[in-house]
Amino acid sequence: MGREGNYQRMVKSVIWMWMSVQSLASAPASSKPHIIFLLADDLGWYDVSWHNPKAITPNLESLANEGIILEQSYVQPVCTPTRSALMTGRYPFTIGRQGPPLMSSAPTGLLLNATILPESLKKAGYSTHAVGKWHLGFCHWDYTPTHRGFDTFYGLYSGMGDHYNRDSYASITETGLHGYDFRNNDEPDFRFNGTYDTYVYADFVENLLFSRDPAEPMFLYMAFQSIHSPMQVPDVYRDPFRYIGNESREISLGMAYAMDDAIGRVVTALKATGHYENSVIVFSSDNGAFANNGNNWPLRGGKSTLWEGGTRAPGFIHSPLLTKTGFKSQTLFHVTDWYATLAGLAGGTVPEGTDGFDQWEALTTGTESPRTSFVYNLNTDNKNATELNGAFRKGEYKLLVGNIKGGQWIEPPEGFDEGAPRSHGAASGITGVDSPVQLYNVIDSTPTEDPEERHDVADSHPEIVAELLEDLEREFQRMVPADNPPQDPSSDPKYFGGVWSPGWCDPH
């Protein structure tokens, strides 16, 4: 769909807006806020226009500037762990999800004895809807969204698929087993094969919003596959970036632009249907950008690494219910906090044993945050199950332990403001590269700030290193082995009519 498709959608939005004024303007609002959680995929720090003026994300930037921008919001280094932390409120290393993202042939999924976020919200009286990428396992029906608290699901079970034809591989290298992956609730849906996925998702949400009563509280979890590979986008979104001369970067910025357009349509529909005034909209990326696709400048590292570029996500909260807006929050926030924060807003129950905090008051009033530290991730070295490998944040300091790779800085091909980087140490002068223990001051508001992680200060602060090592080793006692079983050939879509489907593993 090109410019003609954009025009048709604009006309459709105008018609729906008029219809809503006629029939829904006086509709009673829900007594509980509607919760809309927008999750981007592999979107980097420098892929949004409030960090990079050359990016085109006007709808997101408007929501961010009229809300609270979260400048210290942390996620996991890769897809599945972040989703598991969001849904359970628990550190992935405590439930076996600290390893690589789930592949489509993995005979496992998100642990079934956890009451996940949509289940808690459903018990609190919410209708619950998941749109987009699931990526928390589907080998058995018990792992799938409509069996985990979502009333409806519309999207893909796996971690990635062709943005047009929904072909999905079991391997990130796009080799081996592959099949169709797109569902409407439990059933495969082939109706929109050939249509770009952000269009399909926006269409679905518009229809959902116009079909429901805004007096009933709603939880909408909209998890885009943008800007995750395969790198695909309609030309209308890539064209503004042709000046860059770097195909991958042009497409990744175009994918962010397309996602922004879809989010703009969702917000328009929220307003047209009487949902918006009583809504809380959250936006975050699931991890940092993958090298050579998105960009995390000026942060160090990217997806699958424990550096800031892999774990510090662009994000915000937007809501007409907020009394103080239009500022950047430096409140320390971790993805596990969303469970308690959103369940608290909804009047839901937070299970015992979660790792998150209810941060609503701290974020919205500027009071002291209940979170002062968090674990980036914990794992053991593959060659030595007793060797600690992970990272820990306490206050302004970040400790990295073990073989921490992928610590490059990748300058954006479109260029950047030379005066923008906050630290100016040359890459050739980095300290601590080969050290098994590194310490950085990563806060943005201290005289010795180093959010770009260029200067290891472990040698000059041995007492802080010792304190954080003790904290990290205490957390290490909670770690369970990573749940990463061998791929199962019985998952082959050829056994299920060419569609990736549940029904070939035993749940556990």
DSSP 88-117: HSS-GGGTT--SSPPPTT-S--S-TTS--H
**What is the C-alpha end-to-end distance of the chain, expressed in Å?**
43
Flag whether pLDDT at 26 surpasses 50: no
Q: What percent of the chain is predicted at pLDDT more than 90?
A: 82
Phi, psi of 69 (to 5 degrees): -80, 130
pLDDT tens-digit readout, 82-102 = 999 999 999 999 999 999 999
Q: Can you give the pLDDT at residue 174?
A: 79
pLDDT tens-digit readout, 139-168 = 999 999 999 999 999 999 999 999 999 999
Q: Can you give the pLDDT at residue 491?
A: 98
**Local confidence band at 55 (pLDDT 50, 70, 90 cut-offs):** very high
For residue 246, the surrounding DSSP H or E stretch is: none
CATH 3.40.50.2000 fits domain 375-415+429-476: no
* Residue scoring higher pLDDT (357 or 447): 357
Q: Can you give the pLDDT at residue 172?
A: 79
Flag whether pLDDT at 331 surpasses 60: yes
Residues pairing with 153 in the sheet? 130
Residue 293's nearest CA partner among 256, 329, 263 is: 256
**Local confidence band at 2 (pLDDT 50, 70, 90 cut-offs):** very low
Give the tokens for residue 281: 């909209």
pLDDT tens-digit readout, 418-473 = 765 444 333 333 444 457 899 999 987 666 689 999 999 999 999 999 999 999 98
Flag whether pLDDT at 263 surpasses 90: yes
Residue 255's nearest CA partner among 245, 263, 267 is: 263
Flag whether pLDDT at 111 surpasses 90: yes
Active site residues: 79, 135
Asked if 47 and 315 touch (Cβ cutoff 8 Å), the reply is: no
User: Side chain identity at 353, as an amino acid letter?
Assistant: G
- d(C-alpha 464, C-alpha 480), whole Å: 27
State the average pLDDT over residues 315-326: 95
Q: Can you give the pLDDT at residue 463?
A: 98
Domain ranges of the chain: 32-371+485-496, 375-415+429-476
Q: Can you give the pLDDT at residue 19?
A: 46
Q: Where are the beta strands (DSSP E) in 209-295?
A: 218-223, 279-285
* Residue scoring higher pLDDT (380 or 258): 258
Report cis status (omega within 30 of 0) of the bond before 92. no
Flag whether pLDDT at 325 surpasses 90: yes
Least confident of 135-139, 272-276, 471-475: 471-475
Q: What percent of the chain is predicted at pLDDT more than 70?
A: 88
CATH 3.40.720.10 fits domain 32-371+485-496: yes
- d(C-alpha 272, C-alpha 24), whole Å: 8
pLDDT tens-digit readout, 403-427 = 888 899 999 999 998 765 444 333 3
User: Side chain identity at 278, as an amino acid letter?
Assistant: N
For residue 70, the surrounding DSSP H or E stretch is: strand 68-70
Q: Can you give the pLDDT at residue 240?
A: 98
Flag whether pLDDT at 76 surpasses 80: yes
Q: Can you give the pLDDT at residue 256?
A: 98
- d(C-alpha 364, C-alpha 50), whole Å: 20
Residue 495's contacts (CB-CB under 8 Å, 6 or more residues apart) are 504
Question: Mean pLDDT for the chain?
Answer: 90
**Which residue do the tokens 């703009």 mark?**
264
Flag whether pLDDT at 58 surpasses 90: yes
Q: Can you give the pLDDT at residue 15?
A: 47
